[in-house]
């Protein structure tokens, strides 16, 4: 899959490309990431790409000429028709459904990163298919949001994550959060691990994990139940738990509830 990033800081995106899962996806040729710096399309002798907003007000805006020059180059060098996505706090909220859809389609993406006060509106009107936001917070630039998109896509591309099952079992995949995990040592600072995990009984382990995932979801993100509400078994487990008759993920609860 090909992802182009229009950014004033290609070195920032490159740094992410050299690490972990993204690096692995690039090395396996499942993913290609290329930066386009709008300064290379600036007509200004100092390579400026920003100017003051008409009507006054604070800050500077990205000008249409250099940004659209970079977008046009990224589009024309993409294999096939790319989707042009601007990262913006005013966009639709990114979630795993959007990422899964993009990763499945493998349609090339052009991610456009803003800086300063953001984009001249004509950039969005003339070149951008969709705007997406990382959430209700304001970053100083779109690069970190673009890197989040690249990372989340990379781990969904075939053959990138060693055990594909681990992606399927992640939080949100079945509209549930993940269950608690434990590794060696079995005793640490006086804390043990749930006995079922060393029982060797894979059915009981799977049942315990499913129940813990459901309980964590019920406590922290009950909104996830709206699509796939608790099943009869899950409801019974919830009732048992509310009556105190269960081995709940206490350590995690203390940190959040």
Residues lying near ligand SAM in the complex (CB under 6 A)? 87-90, 113-115, 117-119, 133-135, 137-142, 145
State the catalytic residue, choosing from 72, 131, 151, 170.
170
Least CB distance from residue 143 to ligand SAM, whole Å? 8
State the catalytic residue, choosing from 47, 53, 89, 169.
89
112 or 154, CB closer to ligand SAM? 112
DSSP 8-class letter at 49: -
State the catalytic residue, choosing from 72, 77, 117, 169.
117
Residue nearest to ligand SAM (CB): 114
Q: Distance between CA atoms of 247 and 86, rounded to whole angstroms?
A: 45
Least CB distance from residue 115 to ligand SAM, whole Å? 6
Q: Respond yes or no: is residue 155 known to be catalytic.
A: yes
Going by C-beta distance under 8 Å and a sequence separation of 6 or more, which residues neighbour residue 71?
6, 36, 84, 110, 112, 123, 127, 128
Q: Respond yes or no: is residue 170 known to be catalytic.
A: yes
In 3D, which of 176, 170, 63 has the Cα closest to residue 114? 63
Least CB distance from residue 171 to ligand SAM, whole Å? 20
State the catalytic residue, choosing from 155, 156, 176, 209.
155
Q: Respond yes or no: is residue 169 known to be catalytic.
A: no
143 or 234, CB closer to ligand SAM? 143
Q: Where are the beta strands (DSSP E) in the chain?
A: 2-6, 32-36, 50-51, 61-62, 83-93, 109-113, 130-133
Backbone CA torsion sign across 185, 191, 196, 199: positive
Least CB distance from residue 32 to ligand SAM, whole Å? 22
Q: Respond yes or no: is residue 117 known to be catalytic.
A: yes
9 or 182, CB closer to ligand SAM? 9
Q: Please count the residues of the chain.
A: 257
Residue pair 111/70 in contact (Cβ under 8 Å)? The answer is no
Least CB distance from residue 8 to ligand SAM, whole Å? 10
Read off the tokens for 56: 């006054």
Residues belonging to the active site: 89, 117, 155, 170
């Amino acid at each position: 899959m090909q992802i182009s990033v229009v950014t004033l800081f290609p070195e920032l995106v490159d740094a992410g490309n050299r690490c972990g899962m993204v690096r692995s996806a690039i090395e396996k040729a499942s993913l290609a990431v290329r930066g386009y710096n709008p300064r290379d399309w600036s007509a200004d002798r100092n390579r400026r790409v920003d100017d003051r907003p008409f009507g006054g007000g604070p800050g500077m805006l990205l000008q249409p000429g250099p940004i659209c020059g970079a977008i046009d180059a990224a589009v024309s060098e993409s294999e096939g028709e790319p989707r042009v996505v601007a990262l913006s706090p005013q966009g639709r909220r990114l979630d795993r459904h959007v990422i899964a859809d993009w990763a499945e389609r493998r349609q090339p993406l052009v991610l456009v990163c803003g800086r300063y006060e953001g984009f001249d509106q004509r950039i969005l009107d003339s070149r951008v298919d969709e705007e997406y936001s990382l959430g209700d917070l304001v970053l100083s630039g779109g690069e970190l949001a673009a890197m989040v998109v690249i990372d989340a896509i990379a781990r969904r591309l075939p053959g990138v994550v060693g055990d594909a099952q681990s992606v399927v079992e992640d939080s949100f995949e079945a509209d549930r959060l993940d269950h608690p995990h434990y590794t060696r040592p079995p005793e640490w600072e006086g804390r043990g691990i749930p006995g079922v995990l060393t029982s060797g009984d894979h059915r009981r382990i799977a049942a315990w994990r499913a129940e813990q995932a459901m309980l964590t979801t019920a406590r922290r993100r009950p909104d996830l139940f709206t699509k796939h509400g608790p099943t009869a078994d899950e409801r019974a487990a919830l009732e048992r738990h509310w009556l105190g008759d269960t081995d709940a993920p206490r350590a995690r609860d203390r940190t959040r509830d």
